[in-house]
Amino acid sequence: HYDILDVDESINLTSHTIDWTHCNSIDIDSDGNVIISTRNFNEVTKISRQTGDIIWRLGGERNQFQFINDNRGFGRQHDARVLSNGNLALFDNGHLLIPQYSSYVEYDIDEQNFTATLIRRYSRNGTIYSPSRGGVQELSNGNILISWDDIQNPLVSEISPEDSTVYEVRYDNYVHQYRAYKFPWKTNLFSPQYDSLDFGIVTVGNSSSIDVKIYNRRDVSVIINEVFNKDSSFYVNGNLPINIPPHDFVEATIVFEPVENGSFTDKINFRFVTDTLLIARQVFVEGTTHLVTMEDGINEIFYYSLSQNYPNPFNPTTNIEFQISDFGFVSLKVYDILGNEITTLVSEEKPAGEYMVEFSAIGGDVFNLTSGIYFYQLRVYPAGSRAGNFIQTKKMSLIK
């Protein structure tokens, strides 16, 4: 077990009260044993979960390891964590080290040869010194979240494996932040009808719109007072704020209106914002434009293609566009998820060109489709043949 004399030399053992070990994190290693960070020992300790015996000690007066590629070590550290790759990460406060700065540190621990090889040290170029507190968190995407806490304006950074800054959040004024974490979270305050929308192909200068219901799950009204996205090709039509009565919904119209050729993706953020609160839900959107050449004012088609229907999901109608580069026999059919044919939309010879067909889930007395997944298939046969040189199938969703 620890000896009371193992403490850092700055700890006065004659004081009326003594903060001895000051343990600030506990983690479980891949073998099931315990990793403990003891700040006032400048030490990370591995302890047997079965016997309570010390397996090894890293740093401090009783250090058992040879540090490789690291002549600094760590001082008064916090939040020692075992990463998914087996390495040991910690927040080095840098207290009593020269020069004094704080950093994220990662070591490859060799328990057989008792070496600790420095893999990574990130310090924001030595610009921050947090004498106490602090934390590190490995995120599911491989990035690292670092909380720099004992500074005038506490800071949270997310960095990539290449040490580039993904984002930073800084307080305007001092607050007592001990440690920050990041976790996936989805509000149940309100929710959009769809998580994602595919507008399919829209020609430049035209637009396509989809109505999305936003549901209020609460017993009181919800006000959507901000809508935010980055790409101007997508926008929400209408005025703010949007007031949603209790257990009711309103419809918001999302528009895709491209001004240049290309493929576009974005996230529409519906927000409820106050001075102390920001709650948002996102709808992922995508769309693309035709890519054709112009010669003598005529669109020249060079290839066959079947576009994603739009809107998708749909209710009850949707548009299906396709283009063919040669004269031929064209077949466009809709199938259910079991492969049963529902209807034929096109069955005739057509010249090269671009075409659009509207499909309705309500087929008069013939069919009335229920919500679900359906498929549409385009077959193109060159003139004088039924062998077929182009076949493409796409999926669409009907939501009632």
132 occurs within a structural domain: yes
The reply to whether 164 and 55 lie within a common domain is yes
Q: What CATH number does residue 383 fall under?
A: 2.60.40.2550
Cβ neighbour number for residue 55 with a 10 Å cutoff: 17
- Which residues span the domain enclosing 333? 299-398
CA distances from 330 to 37, 86, 391 (A): 70, 58, 10
DSSP tag of 291 = -
pLDDT of residue 303: 61
- Give the pLDDT of the chain (400 residues) as one tens digit per residue: 788 888 888 888 888 888 889 999 999 999 999 999 999 999 999 999 999 999 999 999 999 999 999 999 999 999 999 999 999 999 999 998 999 999 999 999 999 999 999 999 999 999 999 999 999 999 999 999 999 999 989 999 999 999 999 999 998 888 889 999 998 877 778 888 888 888 888 888 888 888 889 999 889 899 999 999 999 999 999 888 999 999 999 999 999 999 888 889 999 999 998 888 888 889 999 888 854 443 433 444 446 778 889 998 999 999 999 988 778 889 999 998 888 899 999 999 988 888 999 999 988 777 889 998 899 988 888 775 444 467 778 889 998 8
Question: What residue type is assigned to position 343 of the chain?
Answer: T
pLDDT of residue 293: 41
Cβ neighbour number for residue 186 with a 10 Å cutoff: 9
pLDDT of residue 122: 97
Number of domains in the chain: 3
The reply to whether 241 and 130 lie within a common domain is no
The reply to whether 283 and 306 lie within a common domain is no
The reply to whether 14 and 152 lie within a common domain is yes
51 occurs within a structural domain: yes
Which of 265, 288, 311 corresponds to the end of one domain? Answer: 288
113 occurs within a structural domain: yes
Cβ neighbour number for residue 36 with a 10 Å cutoff: 18
The reply to whether 254 and 304 lie within a common domain is no
185 occurs within a structural domain: no
294 occurs within a structural domain: no
The reply to whether 235 and 305 lie within a common domain is no
pLDDT of residue 299: 47
Which of 124, 140, 170 corresponds to the end of one domain? Answer: 170
The reply to whether 81 and 133 lie within a common domain is yes
R_g (Cα) of the chain, nearest Å? 31
Residue tagged 């397996």 (tokens): 55
**In whole angstroms, what separates CA 69 from the centre of its chain?**
34
pLDDT of residue 384: 55
The reply to whether 68 and 197 lie within a common domain is no
The reply to whether 21 and 128 lie within a common domain is yes
308 occurs within a structural domain: yes
The reply to whether 283 and 304 lie within a common domain is no
pTM: 0.56
CA distances from 369 to 299, 316, 366 (A): 36, 9, 10
The reply to whether 215 and 153 lie within a common domain is no
The reply to whether 240 and 361 lie within a common domain is no
pLDDT of residue 389: 60
